[in-house]
Copies of this chain bind each other. A is one copy, B any other.
Amino acid sequence: MEIAIKSFKTKHNKPDLHTLFYPKSIAIVGASKNLIGGSKYYMALKSSGFFPIEGNVYLINPKIEKLFGESVYPSIKDDRIPKPIDLVIIAVSATTVPKILDECNKRAKFAVIYTSGFGEAGNEELDRQLKAIITQIDTRIIGPNGLGVLNPYSKLQIYPNWKEYKGNLSYIAQSGGTMARLYLCLGPLGIGFHNVVSIGNAYDLSITELISYFHDDPITKTIALYLESIPNGREFMKTAQKITPEKPIILWKGGQTNRGIRATASHTGGLAGSYDIWKAMCKQSGIMLADHFELFQDLVQTIVVRPRLPEGLNVAILVAGGGIGVEFTDTFEKFGLIIPDFEPKTIQTLSSLFPSVNTNFKNPVDLGEWGYNPQLFEKALKAVLEDSNIDVVVFVREPERFGIISELLNIPDAQKATIESLEKIAKDTQKPLFCNPSMNKDDEKSYKQRHEFQIAMIKAGIPVINYMLNIPKIILQLWNYRNYLVKQKSIQV
**Residue pair B254, A323 in contact (C-beta under 8 Å):** yes
B-chain residues with CB within 8 Å of residue A438 when the two chains form the complex? 181
**Residue pair B323, A178 in contact (C-beta under 8 Å):** yes
Task: Given A184-B440, A440-B184, A444-B447, decide whether A175 and B259 contact each other with a Cβ distance below 8 A.
Answer: no
**Residue pair B294, A443 in contact (C-beta under 8 Å):** no
**Residue pair B256, A334 in contact (C-beta under 8 Å):** yes
Task: Given A180-B440, A322-B175, A339-B259, decide whether A292 and B447 contact each other with a Cβ distance below 8 A.
Answer: no
A406 at the interface (CB under 8 A from B): no
**Residue pair B294, A177 in contact (C-beta under 8 Å):** no
**Residue pair B329, A260 in contact (C-beta under 8 Å):** yes
Interface range, A side: 35 or more
**Residue pair A408, B35 in contact (C-beta under 8 Å):** yes
B-chain residues with CB within 8 Å of residue A36 when the two chains form the complex? 369, 408
Task: Given A322-B266, A326-B228, decide whether A331 and B291 contact each other with a Cβ distance below 8 A.
Answer: yes
Segment with Cβ contacts to B, from A97-105, A353-361, A377-385: A353-361
Contact with B along A321-364 (1 / 0, CB 8 A): 11111110111011000010000000000000000111010101
Q: What is the bound-complex CA distance between A17 and B133, given in angstroms?
A: 80
Contact with B along A27-59 (1 / 0, CB 8 A): 000000001100000000000000000000000
**Residue pair B451, A447 in contact (C-beta under 8 Å):** yes
In the assembled complex, how far is the CB of residue A277 from the closest CB belonging to chain B, in whole angstroms?
15
A258 at the interface (CB under 8 A from B): yes
**Residue pair B366, A185 in contact (C-beta under 8 Å):** no
B-chain residues with CB within 8 Å of residue A324 when the two chains form the complex? 175, 177-178, 293
**Residue pair A330, B291 in contact (C-beta under 8 Å):** yes
B-chain residues with CB within 8 Å of residue A453 when the two chains form the complex? none
| CB-contacts of A409-443 with B (<8 A) | 438-443
A271 at the interface (CB under 8 A from B): no
Which of A366, A438, A442 has the most chain B CB atoms inside 10 A of its CB? Answer: A442
B-chain residues with CB within 8 Å of residue A292 when the two chains form the complex? 327, 330-331, 468-469
Q: What is the bound-complex CA distance between A451 and B441, given in angstroms?
A: 12
Q: What is the bound-complex CA distance between A390 and B356, given in angstroms?
A: 56
**Residue pair A185, B441 in contact (C-beta under 8 Å):** yes
**9 A-B pairs with least C-beta separation:** A175-B323, A267-B322, A177-B321, A257-B333, A260-B330, A178-B323, A254-B326, A188-B443, A256-B330
Using a CB–CB cutoff of 8 Å, the interface residues on chain A facing chain B are: 35-36, 116-117, 121, 173-178, 180-181, 184-186, 188-189, 226, 228, 254-260, 263-264, 266-268, 291-294, 320-327, 329-331, 333-334, 339, 356-358, 360, 362, 364, 366, 369, 408, 438-444, 447-448, 451, 467-469
* 22 A-B contact pairs sorted by A residue (CB < 8 Å): A173-B323, A174-B323, A177-B320, A181-B440, A185-B440, A226-B323, A228-B326, A254-B326, A257-B329, A257-B333, A258-B333, A260-B333, A263-B329, A264-B322, A266-B322, A267-B366, A268-B322, A293-B324, A294-B468, A442-B451, A444-B447, A447-B448
